Structure 1
Amino acid sequence: MSGWAIVAIIAIVIWGIVQIAKARAGIITDEDGNDSYVPRDDGAGRGELESARREIEQLRERIHVLERIATDDNTLDARERARISAEIEALRGAEDTKQHDASDKEDLSK
Structure 2
Amino acid sequence: MALRREKQKTIGTKAPFPGFIAPVLAEQVDRVRRGECWIHEIKYDGYRGQLLPTMTSRFSPATGGLDLLYRDGRDLRRLVLLERKAALKQLIAGTPIAYSEHFDIEGGLG
TM-score bracket, normalised by the shorter chain, equals: under 0.3
- Using structure 1 for the length normalisation, give the TM-score: 0.20
**Relative contact order (C-alpha < 8 Å, sep 6+): which is higher?**
2
Bigger radius of gyration: 1
- Using structure 2 for the length normalisation, give the TM-score: 0.20
